[in-house]
């Protein structure tokens, strides 16, 4: 599942699911780290940056 997520746009809910957390936990952790996501669908580069900020290796393409 992770590999199919790396090269497409995702919603915040999909990103949270890929990280194995709820979207509420995602929002809280992003706020704690001072990360603001753009509105709308998230680009693959943004998704990769979030994975790295959480200390998780981004999914392979």
Tell me the β-bridge partners of 42.
10
Give me the pLDDT at residue 59, please.
78
How large a percentage of the chain has pLDDT more than 70? 89
Question: Where residue 14 falls among pLDDT bands split at 50, 70, 90?
Answer: very high
Question: Largest alpha-carbon pair distance within the chain?
Answer: 28
The rounded distance, in Å, linking the Cα atoms of 61 and 19 is 16
Question: Where residue 2 falls among pLDDT bands split at 50, 70, 90?
Answer: very low
Give me the mean pLDDT over the 34-58 stretch: 95
Is pLDDT at 3 greater than 60 in this prediction?
no
What is this structure's pTM?
0.82
Q: Which residues contact 54 (CB under 8 A, 6 or more apart)?
A: 19, 29
């Amino acid at each position: 599942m992770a590999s199919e997520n790396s090269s497409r746009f995702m919603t915040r809910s999909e990103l949270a699911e890929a990280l194995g957390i709820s979207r509420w936990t995602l929002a809280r952790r992003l706020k704690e780290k001072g990360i603001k996501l753009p509105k709308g669908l998230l680009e693959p580069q943004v998704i990769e940056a979030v994975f790295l900020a959480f200390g998780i290796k981004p999914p392979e393409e």
